Amino acid sequence: MRKSTFAALALMGSVALVGAAVTPAMAATTDTTIATVAVTGGVLTMVAPETAALTAIVSSSAPQTASAELTGVQVIDDRASIAIWTATATLSAFVPTNGSTTVIPLTTATYVPDAAVVTVSPTTVVTPSSVTDLTDPETVQVSAGGTSSNTATWGAKVEVTVPALALADIYTATLTHSVS
């Protein structure tokens, strides 16, 4: 009987081992995946009119003012960050194109910007600043915060005082707008 008990126990142990081998493993019922998306910013861009024709004047014994209204000056901020930027303007000397010797000095030039209209992000506030000497780059608009991915558009009045007895000629200068 011992042999049969031993055989029965051995058989039961074998069945237990085989049963354990075919029992499925305990699998996890959930798992996670980390998903990411990269949002990249664009660029900060300055756009200005190609030309500005100041009012024509007749040479005189007294200084006179010539002016132009600029429209559509823009800062396009697609950086997707905080909208902090400064727009500046500078003007080269007005030089004659037909050989006269008169040069219109920059110290008499002014730039008076309108308030900017901001589209897309109403939280961005842009502050204009008038300039009375455009010899060096001078601040004309400042955005001190808010959200970028917007466009600020403004107009400006540009004036220059033409000296007394200026010779008849066409005088040209370059008005440069920059943003940083």
Residue 36 lies in a domain: no
Global confidence as pTM = 0.78
- The domain in which residue 52 lies consists of 44-179
Task: Tell me the average pLDDT of the chain.
Answer: 86
Mean pLDDT throughout 97-112?
A: 87
Residue 132 lies in a domain: yes
Mean pLDDT throughout 87-116?
A: 90
So what's the pLDDT on residue 170?
93
3-class secondary structure for the chain? Answer: CHHHHHHHHHHHHHHHHHHHHHCCCCCCCCCCCCCCCCCCCCCEEEECCCCCCCCCCCCCCCCEEEEEEEEEEEEEECCCCEEEEEEEEEECCEEECCCCCCCECHHHCEEEECCCEEECCCCCCEEECCECCCCCCEEEEEEEEEECCEEEEEEEEEEEEECCCCCCCCEECCEEEEEC
Residue 51 lies in a domain: yes
Tell me: the pLDDT tens digits for 127-161?
999 999 999 999 999 998 888 888 999 999 999 99
Residue 22 lies in a domain: no
Nearest alpha-carbon partner for 85 in 48, 45, 40: 45
- Rounded Cα–Cα distance for residues 130 and 111 (Å): 6
Nearest alpha-carbon partner for 140 in 84, 90, 82: 90
Residue bearing the bigger pLDDT, 78 or 13: 78
Tally of domains in the chain: 1
Nearest alpha-carbon partner for 123 in 143, 146, 102: 146
Tell me: the pLDDT tens digits for 24-53?
667 889 999 999 999 888 999 999 999 999
Mean pLDDT throughout 114-132?
A: 88
Residue bearing the bigger pLDDT, 178 or 149: 178
Residue 39 lies in a domain: no
Residue 145 lies in a domain: yes
Mean pLDDT throughout 155-174?
A: 93
So what's the pLDDT on residue 2?
54
Report the DSSP beta bridge partners of residue 160.
66
Q: φ and ψ at 85, to 5 degrees? A: -155, 165
Residue 84 lies in a domain: yes
Residue 148 lies in a domain: yes
